[in-house]
Structures are given as C-alpha cells and as structure tokens.
A and B are shown apart, each in its own frame.
Chain A
Amino acid sequence: MSDKKTLIEVKGLKKYFPVKKGLFNKTPSYVKAVDDVSFTINKGETLGLVGESGCGKTTTGRTIIKLYEPTDGQIIYDGVDIAKFNEKQMIPYRRKMQMIFQDPYASLNPRMTVGDIISEPIMIHNLMDKKAAQERVQYLLNRVGLNSEHANRYPHEFSGGQRQRIGIARALAVEPEFIIADEPISALDVSIQAQVVNMLEDLQEDLELTYLFVAHDLSMVKHISTRIGVMYLGKMVELAESNELYSKPLHPYTQALLSAIPIPDPDEAASKKRIVLEGEIPSPIDPPKGCRFAGRCKYATEKCREVTPELKDVGGGHMVACHLYDK
C-alpha cells in the first residue's frame, strides 16, 4: 500500500566474511553471509526475518545497524544512505536504532546494577543529567513490568524472562525509532515467551516503534509480524504479508519450511503432509551457481542451475525469487 512510509530501504546489501586458509594464502575465500539482499521496512511495522541457521538473517540485521561494515550496497535510513558512514557520523543513528539480543544471560554485564545497565546508553548519548536519568530508569522499569527497586540489583538475581525485560528497557532508554530483536524469545520458557511478545506489541503501539524481528520459531514470527521475509543461504527468496505467506507460500523452500512447523494439534499433525527436504544447506563459501536452492528443489530445471532468479513482485506486494513464477 502506498500510504505507508518507508523507514529503511536496503538495496543490494552484501556482507562477505573473509576465510583465511593456510599460512601463506594471500587470496582468501569469502563466506557470502548476505549476498545481494534488497527489501524495505515501513514505519510502524514489524518485518519478520526467518530462515535456518546460516541463512544470513542475523548478519542482515547486524549489518543494517552497522555492527558489521557492509561489503556493498545501500542502507537508506529515513532518506539518508548510512552504509558508508563512519563511527562519528553514525552516532545520531545509533540512538535511533537499538537492539534486543537473544541470550538474556550473556547480554547484560554481571558487574553492573540494573539501573546502571539501563542508564548507560542515556549517559553515552548525553541525553540527560544523572538525576533525570535515574527517573527515566524508574519509568522504564515500570514500563517493562519490573519494580523501581530492581534498579539496585544485579542481573544474576533475575530469571531469564526478567533479564529479557531489562534488555528491552535498555534498548528503550534512548527513545529509539527502530529496534532489531534477534531471537528475543527463543531462550525463554513457553509461558514467559507470550509475556514478552505481548509486551513488545504494546510498546510498539504506544511508542510507534518499528521492529525487525529475527527468529526461527515460525509460528511466533507469524503472530508478531506484519510482513515476513524468508532467507536461504544469503538470499531473500520470498517476502510477503504474513497471512499471505502462510496461506499461499510460493517458493518451494518456503513451502518446505512451513510444512515442517510442528502443529500443536494432534489431529492436524496426523493429517498433515510434510515436505521433507533432502540433503543439507550447501556451504556459503562457494555457493552454487543459479538458484541456491536448486540442488534440493524437486522442481529445479536447467535454468535454475544456471540463472539466479530475481526477487520479483508477483502481485499484491508478494515477492518471490523463483523461476517457476517467470512470466
């Protein structure tokens, strides 16, 4: 729809990691973690990014906020290409873009109090004096469902779900516009996952946040996302509205991926047909020519092994990169 404003536009993003082999190898090969990926994120929406381990979904997220330096491509944030910005130029954008990490145990400094953890980004960006920052910490703690007195405690005194709340409070401290949540609930228990997801939804509505939600739990991604992108071996293979993607998956890989979700309903699980994929994901160091999924795809033709399919709109904003849908 045209009334939606674009917050981030990613064009031809590439991130290669060098692999050094041997002692004197001067020309290293590269892991093509993200290889020519383009998509947009609209203001106020949640874009889900799914795929299996090694597909590049986490690298994509981290490259967008420039935790990794992109190898090539544009990252247009609110009209400005930040892809080539240096650290100093990035500072104002660092405030606008925040991140929630997967592991609530590893992402909080055990030697800092919760109050210090949450106020640190405020102090770094020089947004307030100490007293005002403390008040903000109290406000944030209440906002994420913790008590004001928790500010003086240390991370080890909290459970996984509570720690994830602390991580969210820290991300919110500098009033960001855009939050990347990288597997924010996969380390939590089922009953706690729902608490955190509901809170993320409430915060989005109240604070007009935009999310990039990276996860491998496909049912939770469908629940939280407006649109979903499916990645395979460094490429975006399909991108569509979440209901559309789940009801009408076009790409053979998406079809296999969705059929593999375990359904929490014994009758449906018994009647469901599963597309079991043969083989494994090829190495991203020397990815196959043409469509990267061709080797495991039962519809693959000669063309698929030769020509890389482009991500194309096949109607209603449903994008797919597959030769089956060539006109």
Chain B
Amino acid sequence: MEKEKLLEIRNLKTSFYTHVGEVKAVGGVSIDLNKGEAIGIVGESGSGKSITMMSLMGLLSENGKIIDGEIIFEGRDLAKLSEEEMQKIRGNEIGMIFQDPMTSLNPVLTIGDQLMEPLIKHKKMSKKEAWDRAVQMLSLVGIPSPESRMKQYPHEFSGGMRQRVMIAMALACEPKLLIADEPTTALDVTIQAQILELMKELKDKINTSIILITHDLGVVADVCDRINVMYGGLVAETGSTRDIFYRPKHPYTWGLLKSIPNPKKDEKERLKPIEGQPPDLLKPPVGCPFADRCEYAMKICMQQRPPLFEVGEGHKAACWLNHPDAPKVEPPVGRGETNE
C-alpha cells in the first residue's frame, strides 16, 4: 500500500550555543510522517524530542540553530524558509498545541479574538465568517454554549477547557499537520481521556496528520500508529506501535517498558528502573548515547555510533545488538514475537 508522505525530516542536527559551549540537542534525526497518520515521539527530558519539533516550526530560541539536515513538508524545505514564509505556514498549514494551556493563551484577549485572528490573517475571512467558523470549532471540540464562551477570557476556563480551546485554535485553519507537545501532561486523567478521544476523532474526521510528543507510553499506545523513541538527541528505535510494544529491539525501549507499572497486573512486581543519568549533550559520547546506562553494552558501543538497523518492515533500531555478528540477546520485555 503506497502512502503519501506529508513530512520528511532528514538527518536533522540542531545545536544551542551557550556560555559553556555548543549543546548538540539534536544529533541527526530522521522521521517520516504519512498523510492522515498519527505518530508518537517518546523520550525523556533532554532526548531532543521537543527541539526537533521546534526546529520544524522555526521556533528555536535565539541561540539555537539548525546545523544540518532537511525538513521537507509538502515539497518545501522548512529549514531554508525565511521567518516571513514560516509565518504563513505556522498556524495555517501546521497547527500546534503546547503543554501548558494557561501560558499559551493570551490573558488579555477574549477566546473569540484569539480564535478569529488566524482565520482573518491566514484564510482572509471577514469578521463575520471568522466568528461563525470559531463558534463552529468550539462546538466541534465539545465546549458547551460556544456563542457566549467566545466573549470570555482564558481565566474563565478550566484547564481541560483551555486545552480544548487550544485544539480548536490549532485546527481552525484545517492544518495538514497538528503537532501536540505533551498536550495532556498538565491535565487530570479523566480530562486527558476526553482530549485523546477528541484528537482521535478529529484525525478520522478531518484527516489531519498528528505528531504527538510525550513521555507517557500509555498515551502513545492509545493514539499513535507509529512510534519514534528518542534518546540523547537521536532516534533509538522507530516502528509501528505494535513493533515498539511487542517486539522492541533497543535496550532503551526495553528499559522504558520495564520501568512503568502495569495497572492490569495484580501481583506486585518490583519496578526495574534504568540506572544512571542521560548523557551530557555538551560533550555527547562518541558511541551509542545509551551505552553508559546499557546492561548489554559491548566494546563497539563505546567506540562507534550504531546505525539504524532494519529489523523488520518499517521497524528500525539503532543498537549494535541487531548487527548480524552480535551475540543473541533475549529481550526482557514484549511478547517475544518476531517480525513476520
């Protein structure tokens, strides 16, 4: 089945220049996204997951810079566009939702004004058209009595409602791509469930592609078709959601899956944390960034960065254990399934 590609990130490298030196936050990341697909980017703080997305949207802070690589979105390389050209894409073709709905809404503008702004700016709608569309968006995301809500200010909304407004705003221009950076982390589980259901529904209804950035494996298991696991500024493993959960091939993915409790299990099992700390990206290790914390680390892992080995159809893992000459290791998690 041939799928149409919407986004292709090729070997992206992003660095930050700080007073202590160059921080190589993203060290060569490639990610694909097809039309109508939801992918997850999973990783802990400092793994480069948010910086990859900020590079994509041209929202890096002053001291950050894309060093190398391409970000092909619908045939254009976003990395080479000017700020002016990016403004036409952001909020129009690419919508964004951030973690904290309180700080990402303007407190002195009404919800209506904020919803209408991108419509008037990007879609050249009249005020009346924009108003109608905004009301329609608010009811789409499940906000009761949208007409009167339009005239209210962000502080009059609860956390979950604000996040719905953010989603309405991000989707108002019918973007081809929705980037959601930890969209439910600040919310309660019941509200989180509502927002995730909403995102899945919108994906099917408007055929928007979604990139979901999160550290919560439960969330990606529910929403995403494919998952990229990031570690130390690199993609450690990429594959379908079932690949990652049932036949993972990278020790970091194993570690992640082992360190979360399974609420379905009755007997108490001790958690198995990944010992140690993530690498310092001021001086990234020469070899595999995970080698330091990896119980399977071999000599080569310290000396040479592992390439992304193809371990199945569309399933790749950057770990030397997948080299044909490597010793065979029994994965401690998953279902022990092999790739068909």
- Determine whether B196 belongs to the interface, using a CB cutoff of 8 Å to chain A: yes
Is the Cβ of B197 less than 8 Å from the Cβ of A274?
yes
Give the residue of A52, A189, A243 whose beta carbon is less than 8 angstroms from that of B44: A189
A139 → B minimal CB distance (Å)? 22
Per-position binary interface string of chain B over residues 195-210, scored 1 when its CB falls under 8 Å from any chain A CB and 0 otherwise: 0110000000000000
Is the Cβ of B218 less than 8 Å from the Cβ of A52?
no
- Determine whether B219 belongs to the interface, using a CB cutoff of 8 Å to chain A: yes
Q: How far is the CA of A257 from the CA of B190 in the complex (A)?
A: 6
Q: Given A260-B192, A262-B192, answer yes or no on A191-B221 (Cβ-Cβ < 8 Å).
A: no
Is the Cβ of B221 less than 8 Å from the Cβ of A263?
yes
Which B positions have Cβ atoms within 8 angstroms of A? 44-45, 158-161, 188-194, 196-197, 215-219, 221-222, 241-242, 245-246, 255-257, 259-264, 266, 268, 270-275, 277
Per-position binary interface string of chain A over residues 247-285, scored 1 when its CB falls under 8 Å from any chain B CB and 0 otherwise: 100000000111111111111110000101100100000
Which A positions have Cβ atoms within 8 angstroms of B? 52-53, 159-161, 189-195, 197-198, 201, 216, 218-220, 222-223, 243, 246-247, 256-269, 274, 276-277, 280
Q: How far is the CA of A223 from the CA of B272 in the complex (A)?
A: 12
Is the Cβ of B261 less than 8 Å from the Cβ of A223?
yes
Is the Cβ of B277 less than 8 Å from the Cβ of A159?
yes
Is the Cβ of B255 less than 8 Å from the Cβ of A191?
yes
Is the Cβ of A276 less than 8 Å from the Cβ of B259?
no
B260 CB contacts on chain A under 8 angstroms: 190, 194, 219, 264
Is the Cβ of B273 less than 8 Å from the Cβ of A218?
no
Name 14 interchain pairs, CB-CB below 8 A, sorted by A. Answer: A189-B45, A191-B255, A193-B259, A194-B271, A197-B271, A247-B266, A262-B221, A263-B218, A263-B221, A264-B221, A266-B222, A277-B190, A277-B194, A280-B158
Give the residue of B161, B245, B273 whose beta carbon is less than 8 angstroms from that of A265: B245
Give the residue of B190, B264, B266 whose beta carbon is less than 8 angstroms from that of A52: B190
B241 CB contacts on chain A under 8 angstroms: 266
B272 CB contacts on chain A under 8 angstroms: 194
Query: Considering residues A191, A243, A277, which has the most beta carbons from chain B within 10 angstroms of its beta carbon?
Result: A191
Is the Cβ of B196 less than 8 Å from the Cβ of A219?
no
Q: How far is the CA of A267 from the CA of B246 in the complex (A)?
A: 10
A166 → B minimal CB distance (Å)? 15
A246 CB contacts on chain B under 8 angstroms: 263
Q: How far is the CA of A222 from the CA of B218 in the complex (A)?
A: 15
Is the Cβ of B259 less than 8 Å from the Cβ of A194?
yes
Q: Which of chain B's residues has its CB closest to A193's CB?
A: B259
Give the residue of A52, A197, A268 whose beta carbon is less than 8 angstroms from that of B189: A52
A265 CB contacts on chain B under 8 angstroms: 221, 245, 262, 264
Q: Given A265-B221, A280-B158, answer yes or no on A192-B189 (Cβ-Cβ < 8 Å).
A: no
Is the Cβ of B190 less than 8 Å from the Cβ of A260?
yes
Q: Which of chain A's residues has its CB closest to B47's CB?
A: A189
Q: Given A52-B188, A192-B273, A216-B188, answer yes or no on A262-B219 (Cβ-Cβ < 8 Å).
A: yes
A216 CB contacts on chain B under 8 angstroms: 188-189
A194 → B minimal CB distance (Å)? 3
Q: Given A191-B256, A280-B158, answer yes or no on A260-B189 (Cβ-Cβ < 8 Å).
A: yes
B274 CB contacts on chain A under 8 angstroms: 191, 194
A274 CB contacts on chain B under 8 angstroms: 193, 197
Is the Cβ of B271 less than 8 Å from the Cβ of A219?
no
A263 → B minimal CB distance (Å)? 6
Is the Cβ of B189 less than 8 Å from the Cβ of A191?
no
Q: Which of chain A's residues has its CB closest to B293's CB?
A: A191
Is the Cβ of A280 less than 8 Å from the Cβ of B160?
yes
Query: Considering residues A193, A266, A274, A276, which has the most beta carbons from chain B within 10 angstroms of its beta carbon?
Result: A266
Q: Which of chain B's residues has its CB closest to A244's CB?
A: B266
A262 CB contacts on chain B under 8 angstroms: 189, 192-193, 196, 216, 218-219, 221-222
Query: Considering residues A219, A246, A258, which has the most beta carbons from chain B within 10 angstroms of its beta carbon?
Result: A219
Q: How far is the CA of A246 from the CA of B270 in the complex (A)?
A: 18
Is the Cβ of B255 less than 8 Å from the Cβ of A264?
no
B160 CB contacts on chain A under 8 angstroms: 280
Q: How far is the CA of A11 from the CA of B177 in the complex (A)?
A: 54
Is the Cβ of A276 less than 8 Å from the Cβ of B197?
yes
Q: How far is the CA of A194 from the CA of B275 in the complex (A)?
A: 9
Q: How far is the CA of A70 from the CA of B194 in the complex (A)?
A: 35
Q: How far is the CA of A219 from the CA of B191 in the complex (A)?
A: 17
6 pairs of A and B residues whose beta carbons are closest in the complex: A262-B218, A194-B273, A189-B44, A223-B261, A194-B259, A260-B193
